[in-house]
Chain A
Amino acid sequence: MKIFFFKSIVILFLFLVAYHYSINHTIKLIKNEIENNFSKESLEIIKIKLREEMKNAINKESYINKEDAILINGFLNKILNDLKIEK
């Protein structure tokens, strides 16, 4: 009984340690990732960066190179054509 008691205590403790450094630790990592990427502050940073990028784009002479412009133009036209519904 005594030996069983002491062994059970140690096994329970080791189980808790293993749980903490595996599952608990992973949950914490995921929570941190979500917090860092999707928190209000992170979204605010993205918004600020987008605004800056847009301002840079306006100031530049050509923001998209010619080849990409042709490709995007063609792709958008294709999408618009496919979206046309006969009345």
Chain B
Amino acid sequence: MIVNLNKQKKTIFLVFFYLIFLIISLVILDDYGVHIEEKFHRLNGLYWLNYIANLFNFSEVKLITETKISFISDYTLSPVSTYNKYGIILDLPVAILETILDFEDVRNIYYFKHLLSHLIFLASSLAFFKILEKRYRSFYLGMVGALLYITSPRIFGDSFFYKDVLFLSFFMFTIYFFIKSIQKFNYKNLLFLAFFSSICTNLRIFAILIPFILIFIMIIKNFYLKEQFNFLKKIFFYIIFFFLLLYIFWPYLWENPIEKFLELFLTLKDNLINYKIYFNGNFINNRTLPDYYIPVWIFISSPFLITILFFFGFGLCLLRVLKRYFKITDHTKYYDLWRGKNEEYDFIFLIIIIIFFSLFLFLNAPLYNFFCLVYFFNIFIIYFAINFIFRIKNYFNKNDYKYIYTFLTIILVCYNFFALVKTHPFQSFYFNSLISDRVKNNFEGDYHGIATKHFFENILIQDNNKVIKIAVASHTPIQRGVEALPEELRERIRIVGQEYRAADYIYKNNISEVDAYSNKKYQIPKNFYKFDQLKIDGTILYQIFKLKDSN
């Protein structure tokens, strides 16, 4: 079943493909909850819009933003004036649109943002498709790769919640223009690369490594090309535009760019979260995570077959580069570590993942909330899985068993779709089918409180009281999730924090900033009993405890 269509038909197919995904997204958009950091990000956008309005004397915008900011309150919310280093790439445009479109309900702002985030994610899959199509000269493999990229369960679920998947999306665009720049080192490609890499750096500071990786690869190429002056001129152009665009996109740097930029690195360790996380049945400090933290999370939360294919694809590409390394001589006709354009793609992907993984490993990155900070590794996982599929294809083509390869790709895509449907709308908590229910519940669950919408709806159906008092036995500020409910229902919910004595119900999940085994802060009082729970594919997302005396 090898798809061999002409260009026009391919374009129609692609338009149809994305139209289907767009329709699906619009239909399911409302099923997802509101995560606990949405309030902060809305505040972040409005704060910087107010700052810009102040700077350029837009008095009306200033007044609107000040009014909006004054209405955003939450006792657990960090002040934006202190935590003002976050990227504004989505927050600020949404704040502008919020001001222009004048949404009546805050809920609509959040869902509008979810949709934008998901659309950016879908658009990034097109960049991935283009890379794969060019690399393997196969429309079919490009489509399979794009499908696996979109339907990776955790990534798909989180694509509505911006943050880490937003970074993954912009990282995808960056890789696309990174490859284009490496292959055609011209000003146009470098300008696009500067644009997307500066956005990535705005979202996650560790993306500052991209210019260094570009220089590194171009040095290797230049041993062969020997165009030093041209190379230096263009690199200088890229660096200038990278920092210029970073400055433009980041109002935080506007007042004192050099000092504030350096401050980002100097205060990095203090600004990062420092608390206990639940990992493999134990509460461990996130500053001293084991080296296997990322590999374990990737293994348990990615579809098993894709992980295996990645492992082989990555291993074979690494082996090939190592072989080439040991054969380097002073004078060669080819680039030393790869031969031709196809291997160049593999080398770029290989070097980027090795550098970023090493960075997280060597710097003991304080990760939390499973591996969402490195969600962008999924690009590489799928790329190398497709790489191995391509090798299988080549092998079976020679042996006239090409249907095995087609069957394998169909299995992979179908498995992802099945996982998406099975866990909807909680794909963010997907574990692969080899993981037992006991093990699933030994890892961090609903950090972002995505299931709180489901929890509130559940409670409101089961309890007819006018006001329902809910205590929280976890480190999740669930009061922020109330905003996912229609306005008239919000008034019936009253959150009482850890005041268990004042509560009718207690919400509990396994998110705790302290060691919940020894610290009894989140222990359920004896006068409460387990009333209900939400279990998705064996993973408990929350439990409800009810007061024994209450009706």
Interface residues, chain A, CB within 8 Å of chain B? 2-3, 5-6, 10, 13, 16, 19-20, 24, 28, 31-32, 35, 39-42, 44-45
Contacts and interface: CB of A to CB of B under 8 A. Distances in A.
Interface in B494-519: 514-515, 518-519
Nearest to A20: B362
Interface string B310-337: 0000000000000001001010000010
Contacts of A39: 515
Interface string B376-420: 000000000000000000000000000000000000000000000
Contacts of A20: 361-362
Main secondary structure of the interface of A (DSSP, over half): helix
B358 interface: yes
B474 interface: no
Nearest to A7: B328
Nearest to B516: A41
A31 B366 CA distance: 14
Contact of A16 (B223, B285, B358): B358
A6 to B, nearest CB: 6
Interface in B254-287: 284-285, 287
Contacts of A40: 514, 519
Interface string B513-529: 01100110000000000
Given A2-B328, A31-B287, A39-B515, 8 more contacts: A2-B336, A5-B219, A16-B362, A24-B362, A24-B364, A31-B288, A32-B288, A35-B285
A41 B282 CA distance: 13
Contact of A28 (B223, B288, B330): B288
Contacts of B284: 32
Contacts of A42: 518
Contacts of B223: 2, 5
A34 B336 CA distance: 48
Contacts, number: 41
B362 A41 contact: no
Sort chain B's interface into a size bin: 10 to 19
Contacts of B285: 31-32, 35
Nearest to B223: A2
B288 A2 contact: no
Contacts of B515: 39, 41
Given A5-B219, A24-B364, A41 B325 contact: no
Nearest to A5: B219
Contacts of A3: 328, 330
A17 to B, nearest CB: 8
A35 B288 contact: yes
Contacts of A2: 223, 328, 330, 336
Interface string B343-366: 000000000000000100110100
A10 B351 CA distance: 13
Contacts of B219: 5
29 contacts: A2-B223, A3-B328, A5-B219, A5-B223, A6-B325, A6-B328, A6-B336, A10-B325, A16-B358, A16-B362, A20-B362, A24-B362, A24-B364, A28-B288, A28-B364, A31-B285, A31-B287, A31-B288, A32-B284, A32-B288, A35-B288, A40-B514, A41-B514, A41-B518, A41-B519, A42-B518, A44-B518, A44-B519, A45-B518
A1 to B, nearest CB: 8
A32 to B, nearest CB: 5
Contacts of A45: 518
A43 B164 CA distance: 36
B324 to A, nearest CB: 10
6 closest pairs, A vs B, by CB? A41-B518, A41-B515, A2-B223, A45-B518, A41-B519, A31-B288
A2 to B, nearest CB: 5
The residue in B288, B325, B361, B519 that gathers the most chain A C-beta atoms within 10 A of its C-beta is B288
Contacts of B358: 13, 16
